Structure 1
């Protein structure tokens, strides 16, 4: 690896988990990540954040690589974050506009992916509304390209969980033994699933709360403590993750009304007094201000990690792209 400290990453050769990343082809969810792989990724993310925050020119470690963004759902943070992360590593980025592509004419996901491969992309970052679509794409493309899951239906959103973890750790708290409360629509949340898989792996105690219609009853069989009411879920919590409420859930009859949801589950300064004194609040965004969290709590930098999460998304996605794609060649 090049040793120009201002243009490339320098990792210790004995970094635990590094060999596992070298053998890994895809990032589809957090379930199959080992603790060592997670630790390695966080170590690389710290280096990437340091480089990114200092405003240095792009690195050259992926200057011979092409990353294709294939987003079938709207996204601001994730798509922009992946694009900036790839460019910061020196990669070229191909953004496929689904509305203007052959997909709008009925082309299948498989054919679109094959087209990207034929164009010479080295990795595909995909977001799709169908759960399991990232696994299907990885099986189709096998070892031809790397597949990174940027969210598939209700199933998984691994880089969101990883950036949430990174943000939690930056508060100085070790995750093992910490109480993490996840509040809201658990059933339809890929963010909740990926966080539960990841944080439990690292020894966190997970509590969830939300309307009974939006919380899977089987969660308790996976070691998650389920509450119908907010208060016991957040009592003495170290971290609270508020999930975005899809407003159409009211039309589907899954919640009585937005007003009732706010009355029972909205986070505010008064309610978080039940948490640890140094509690931190997270949200995957975009925030429905005043519904999941009050405006003043979102904007309270002493408590809210929301802006930090956005910033850390770039560093974490730089780390993921680097660990999956770097092959020892620099320009």
Structure 2
């Protein structure tokens, strides 16, 4: 399944090739097929150790990676910063080396500062450990596995038997919300641009700076309607409530009035539009509650299911490359 895979770490999607995207999508599709037949475990990573080093809280992503590693029969080490030696002065690199000494083969790393997974990857390479690093979200940089599961969800919606990059070519996708602070948006911009999508970003001027126009084949909008017009998919981003205290937004109510996705607003989209959200959703802010629960429009539950298949694929491709 992974003959074309040579990547040792997954830190960013900025330089992913079309072949790599399709390898991930096809591998995830194979695992989804296996899991759909009731198989709880497959043996590819038996004897390997996956260390989840989450220096920043994240219940969903961490649970998804943990379940994916278990499905692949790997042994799992979990790191919790609150009860760790970090509070006693240990550095992040020293923490990583501790898990290296315990036999970690793959480290899944999440951190509030951009660049931490890359720094650990450089140290592991310098020491010639053979350990692979998978970025599970770093600051305002990237969140590769979330963008890949979004990609897999959309491609599977268009062709469930053979999800691949080319089915997205020419489709219009709108990403709406707090683009400025979103690592999910940055990773999605790289993956969707690589697929040849007609990509539109929409949000308040304070949360959508003009420099995003330089990131890929994107069109920026500070009004929602042009972004939604004839859109095939709409991806909303979680609005963090602390943005109001930093004067980036007047109020959540006003944000919903101007940028919230409602059933009425979707009338100008493609008739078969699909709605995505990385979660957790602030109901009635980014998305009206009734849309979230509408199985004809919402792909949010499919995103969660896709997350396990995609993360199994990523761990498998890194783990069996050795």
TM-score scaled by structure 1? 0.92
What are the within-5 Å matches in structure 2 for residues 1-331 of structure 1? 11=1, 18-21=2-5, 23-142=6-125, 143-144=128-129, 145-172=131-158, 174-221=167-214, 222-327=216-321
Partner deviation per Cα, 1:41-63 (whole Å, 9 max, x = no partner): 11110111111222213111100
Residue 15 (structure 1) aligns with: none
How far has the Cα of 1:33 moved from its partner? 1.2
What SS does the aligned partner of 1:207 have?
strand
1:171-216 deviation digits (Å, cap 9, x = unpaired): 1162111111000000100000000001101101110110100002
Distance (Å, rounded) in 1 between the aligned partners of 2:118 and 2:244: 31
Q: For 2:80 and 2:58, how far apart are their aligned partners in 1? A: 12
Distance 2:59 2:177 in 1: 22
8 Å CA contact retained: 2:4, 2:23: no
Aligned counterparts of 2:296 and 2:205: Cα–Cα separation in 1:
31
Q: Secondary structure at the match of 1:124?
A: strand
Alpha-carbon deviations, 1:83-141, whole Å to 9, x = none? 01011011011011211110122211100001000110001000000011111111111
Instruction: In structure 2, list runs of 5 or more residues that go unmatched.
Output: 160-166
Match of 2:163 in 1: none
- The aligned length equals 311
Q: Kindly provide the CA deviation profile for residues 211-245 of structure 1, in whole angstroms up to 9, marking residues without a partner as x.
A: 10000211223331000011111111011100000
Structure 1 residues 327 and 177, CA, compared in 2 at 3 Å: closer, same or farther? closer
RMSD: 1.2
Deviates more, 1:245-254 or 1:69-78: 69-78
SS of corresponding position for 1:80: helix
CA distance in 1, matches of 2:303, 2:79: 26
Q: Which whole-Å CA distance do the structure 2 matches of 1:216 and 1:132 have between them? A: 21
Moved more, 33-42 or 97-106: 97-106
TM-score by length of 2: 0.94
SS at match of 1:148: strand
Displacement of 1:20: 4.2
Distance 1:284 1:250 in 2: 21
